[in-house]
Amino acid sequence: MKSTYTIKELQRDTAAAVRVAENGALVTITRHDHPVVHVISDERLGAMLETMELLADDAFQRALKRLQAGRQKFYPVSSLAD
């Protein structure tokens, strides 16, 4: 599956490039062999933004560090009932 298009190719094959991006791939558009634009799906962009928001959250960062250090406590779902 092609993921890099020149601007001229993109003009001819826009639908194909969009399908590639919709399937989760990063599509790179080049001009004179240099990347100038990237196309990503709405779903992938949403995931990236969510990740950035989580990484900016101090409480999440602390929990992630505890998890990575093996100090995060887990509780069974049944403990949430009643």
Instruction: Kindly state whether residue 72 falls inside one of the protein's structural domains.
Output: no
Instruction: Kindly state whether residue 17 falls inside one of the protein's structural domains.
Output: yes
Give the H/E segment covering residue 4.
strand 4-6
What is residue 42's predicted lDDT score, i.e. its pLDDT?
Answer: 96
Confidence check: pLDDT of 74 > 90: no
Instruction: Kindly state whether residue 28 falls inside one of the protein's structural domains.
Output: yes
Instruction: Kindly state whether residue 18 falls inside one of the protein's structural domains.
Output: yes
Q: Which domain holds residue 29?
A: 4-41
What is residue 43's predicted lDDT score, i.e. its pLDDT?
Answer: 95
pLDDT, tens only, 35-70:
999 999 999 999 999 999 999 999 999 999 999 999
What is residue 82's predicted lDDT score, i.e. its pLDDT?
Answer: 63
Specify the 3-state DSSP secondary structure of 51.
helix
Total number of domains constituting the chain: 1
Note if the pTM is more than 0.85.
no
Each residue of 47-72: b (16+ CB within 10 Å) or e?
eeeeeeeeeeeeeeeeeeeeeeeeee
Instruction: Kindly state whether residue 47 falls inside one of the protein's structural domains.
Output: no
Higher pLDDT among residues 15 and 1, named by residue: 15
